[in-house]
Structure 1
């Protein structure tokens, strides 16, 4: 019975502890003693030790599972259990060290911002070593990336825009890296554009101040080239001004910079002539790149070389070409240089127009001053002439009054003389010699009467009191009447009279008495100044427009050329005073 009880209890304890995992069980065998009691105590001692060891391991494992890495396995054990306890305690210490190191690195890098930290877990191996290495690699990568970002950001803050983040990165860190680099590039471009604009504005303001108040074109041309060449790195420069004084406008050389005249080189260009004239014609900038060898040379005392760039710039004001400037450089003209030159030419155009306008104003002022002096002189002359005219007018008035009175006084006694002579001529019993004397008296009295009429007409003309009575007259009739009056004188001098009255349109509006008097005067002068036996030709004709032409031509002495301007002046005889009478 005791053996059965012992076997049953040992089997139960073995089953509970070894198979069912129920720790703490003890074998109870009543009434046993001796060896069986020792066996029972040994089994109970083994079960108790195993229970304590397993519960200790479970406690430590449970604590580790709950994150408590301070627990240690403190049970008494030997052999493999002791090795297990030692291994368990070593594992716990390693985990504790790992957790502490990882926490420290995470706190320093993630919270405190202390970069460069590394986890150090002595004795870690396998997975724990890999975990430690991964953490350290994470911290190292983050440190490298952040320090690279900080370094570049610091350089940008200090104005150095040449740096960029070069570290390897992936994911969001790579996205941040690319965005920061793009930001730096944009900032660099913006800064460069701002610097270019500042450079443009500064130099434009400099040239505006420099050219302000200039009044001489040559000085302006030289000043622009000498100041502009170093600004845009030019080694050659020429300045052509537009000259519109000739038949065609052309550009002539005004000023130059480091320019040496070459054989065959021109200093004047018409519009469209060479690239200089073409730029002026098109009103556009022309840029030459890769200038061929021998085209032009930039030279100094040490040597010479061909330029790399040539730019030809028309200078305009309100669409009108004022000048053309040509520059050459051993370097390429940058886009900033070209933009600066385009804006500068606008300012130069304003300055040139102002100088030319001022020059025109000054010239006009000088001309006006000269005209004022000349006007004053003419006013003085006019005043003097007016005084002379007033004096002459007074003299003419006295002469007219005298002539009017003289004509009246001479005309009055002639009337009875002419009437008596006419009455005596009609007497039938008069001797022939007396009749001839009466006829001579009659002719002379009529001549004297006509001379007096001439004096009266001159007086009326000078006073503006001559009245003309217009009517339709036949010019041939009036011409023949005038010839009948002069026929006696023509016969007396044995003059040959040739008539050629070929005109068909002979009727016109005129004062018949005045027109006949004109014909009579012309025929009378022809008779008077033609020697005996001479010839007088009287002819009429019509031109293509129907105008009537009357010609009286004689073979007399004619009129001297110097006397022609005076033939229509009153009381002039054109030098032939020996014939008597008034011209």
Structure 2
């Protein structure tokens, strides 16, 4: 009798399904039993324990509220405590109802009934306390609460503990029953599963033994075909006879393999001939064998592909020649089909990318020639990435050099313009005004102040006096001079180092004013200026924005020049004062000489008169 593979597999599958269904049905029954146990564990122990704990907490809170009733200082407090007692009583009754609903066993029912009765017995005691308290007998109410009331609460607590232990014991018993049921179910399921596995394995072994022999033969034939041993496959009669002896589908598959091998052998021989001619460069070769079925498509494809391939190769040659001449505008001209479309797409993309890269290189180079920082705009691939890196490096280097030159130009321009402001014979006040006005304007500082050092004279200590300012508004009560070491200005003068304030206090004396209002600056720089190590004064600048490193560097660079200019102006002032003193002294000396000359003339006249008188005598 011939039984095909499909029938064998269906019979085995049906048997396995029946056995598996039996195992699943038994497992569902046992799961239902365990679910019932789980429901009982939740509804009895957990619900009962939760309700008992809630009721016990309510009893304790209720007893505390009764103490509040007994010890209340006034009627309002007593009424509030009484209301709390009633609320707790209602909540406890609800929890007792839950316990009565879910507790199991006669013993449990009796225990909860006894507990409820004890709770009800507590009610008259509470009413008595409330009545005494309303009658004003506070001491008696307190004694009953701490006496009979406390005893009743203690008795209730013991019963609640007994209920909790009873629920826990019930939970343990149910858990043990569930574990026993689980063990039985698992043992039975394991035995049944092992039986199904063994039986399934046995059936599978019987079926596989019958199939594996045929599969091995067909696998051998297929491996030979895959390995290209088609000639040896169709000439080995021993293997052919074994396949023909199989009476099921495997035999049919084997015979089909041999038929395929014969057909493939014919096609392969013809394709080999075509390939050999193509390898020789003969693109005029055509298929000669008879191609049947789908193999006819191969023949048609070969007959179509060979002429198309000639056109594609000629087109690629013309593109290559155009690129060799530097003609980036060359494009594919013939129609590309099949996988050759990828070749066309690749050529077009390569030509387009090359054009865009060259245009981008030209654009970047022109920008660099103009001293501009220009970034590459297209994506560079392959070895063009090196060109991109070089261009970007050159652009960055040029930009950095340009920025550095701009910075140096700005610094030098500022120094030059400041020197122009300080040139000429200016008094200290005018010089200081020009300096602070230029610094505030050039550095974009809204407020600036210039202090000059006044040397100590006698008991008067050295101090810094405000001599000039820019957009500074004087306010009443604000000093315009600082001792050396006093405040930020004095401290900068004492240390001969700049002080940079980034968190300006609210009481700072410098404000930035405008037509719309005023506000504190957010940054203040206090910079002393020296001459040959000797302090000459202090510059104070305030702004809303943070000073840049370049601005700070500019201040540092111009301070020596300011020190020289101020020292020169001071020296000029001292010389002018000395010259004025000399002129005054010369004038006084001349006047004295004139007076002496007049006196001499008077004395001479007197002497002549005396001599005349003497002669007359």
State TM-score, norm by structure 2: 0.47
**Largest Rg, 1 or 2:** 1
**Larger relative contact order (CA 8 Å, sep ≥ 6):** 2
Higher helix share: 2
